[in-house]
Homo-oligomer: A and B are copies of this chain.
Amino acid sequence: MRTVEEHRAALVGLVSALPPVTVPLSESLGRVLAADVVAAVDLPGFDNSAMDGYAVRSADVVGAGPASPVVLDVDGDIAAGDTRRHVLRRGATMRIMTGAPMPDGADAVVPVEQSDGGTDRAALMLAAEVGKHLRRRGEDVRSGDVVLRAGMRMTPGRLALAAASNVAEVLVAARPRVSVVSTGDELVGLGSPLDHGRIVDSNRPMLMALVEAAGAELVGFGHVGDDGEALASLLELGRGDPDLVLTTGGVSMGAYDTVKEVLSRSGTVEFSKVAMRPGMPQGAGVVGPRRTPIVTLPGNPVSSFVSFHIFVVPVLRALAGLDPEVALVDGVAAQGWSSVPGKVELTRVVLGPDGVRPSGGQGSHMLGALADATHLAVVDAATTNIEPGDVVHLLPLVGQD
């Protein structure tokens, strides 16, 4: 029986990183940066006023105060957005708005509150020193500064910073292209009536959602019954030219476990038992003329859901050129639960304000617990009991709030 780490390493070893891609900044939301982003301009781009007031030469307002106003000619107004190049003559001032570019020659601003508000001539009551109430060009960001680092995911705020830095394109990690195939004669399409022994093909929509939520691109999906020939041809096809094929079902030891039967014959896909619960039966390898990597997930929906997080996410990250390992977060158990000995137990849990609790029934057939779960608790093979107050290691679920 393989350990989780051994199987994960084998899977990650099947793939190579896809080359990163350049995208327009406007299409980068949610993508992961593959290179640092370097500012193309200074921020602010020019000296500008931090207040509504009067742009002055500080030398002209020496000694100014409430009791000793300095009166200067007002040579005009500069609004935010004014792109003209103004020059402030000695002994004069210009009215200036917050954010407006400083006129050449001015080196300080007297706020309107410390003036008489004059429009032709103004009495200024502050001996503003050099730089007072100014925002200096480049004081936030300098052209050439690294403003965002490789590995960061693009959020609206980061996109705003890159945009203001006049960066029109960014290099981002590729989105792996994934095909999803569910297998099994017993499956019926969503919304169809269920006869005896039939179940809804819920793995396919689930995996499609997981693929999308994990930042990969779904390029094909389908269902095949337990007809080995159809199955084999579908896998040969590599429809949509995927970087990865995911199947669910048919990997146990039943008479209908066609995926295992067909792919074992190919010699390029290996089936293993992995020391974890749920999700013991696993398989992986390459298929088709392009030797497309394939991961065969168990048909049990909970096992498939858990396996996606434990094995497929690292493969998708490796394809994207990222560290395959997802960082676990620590939580404190608010209640105890038991765990299977000798296997890693992946408990569906809710991380709430009071700590970590299993989110309902944990049988591998129990889907109800998925409604509220936020994380998988990764309980190692040696641990058989979690006690309240224990620190537990949590893997965040993909696409979770």
CB distance from A32 to the nearest CB of B (A): 11
CB distance from A200 to the nearest CB of B (A): 5
CB-based contact B166/A190 at 8 Å: yes
Tally of A interface residues using CB under 8 Å: 96
CB-based contact A160/B29 at 8 Å: no
- Residue in A81, A97, A205 with the greatest tally of chain B CB atoms within 10 Å: A81
CB-based contact A101/B164 at 8 Å: no
Task: Give 1 or 0 for each of A176-192: 1 = CB within 8 Å of chain B CB.
Answer: 00000000111000111
| Sample of 18 more A-B contacts, CB < 8 Å, known A41-B194, A140-B363, A157-B400 | A43-B368, A44-B199, A45-B194, A45-B198, A79-B254, A79-B257, A80-B186, A80-B299, A81-B254, A83-B197, A97-B254, A99-B299, A141-B368, A148-B371, A159-B206, A160-B202, A161-B370, A163-B201
Task: Out of B82, B255, B361, name the residue touching A77 (CB < 8 Å).
Answer: B255
CB neighbours (8 Å) of A79 from chain B are 254-257
Task: Out of B166, B198, B205, B365, name the residue touching A159 (CB < 8 Å).
Answer: B205
Return 13 A-B CB contacts under 8 Å, by A number.
A45-B194, A79-B254, A81-B226, A83-B186, A84-B197, A99-B299, A100-B254, A140-B366, A156-B213, A159-B205, A160-B205, A161-B370, A164-B301
Quick check: is A26 within 8 A (CB to CB) of the other chain?
A: yes
CB-based contact B365/A197 at 8 Å: no
CB neighbours (8 Å) of A156 from chain B are 206, 209-210, 213, 305, 397-399
CB neighbours (8 Å) of A52 from chain B are 253
CB distance from A383 to the nearest CB of B (A): 23
CB neighbors of B among A330-385 (8 A): 361, 363, 365-368, 370-371, 373
CB-based contact B148/A200 at 8 Å: no
CB neighbours (8 Å) of A45 from chain B are 194, 198-199
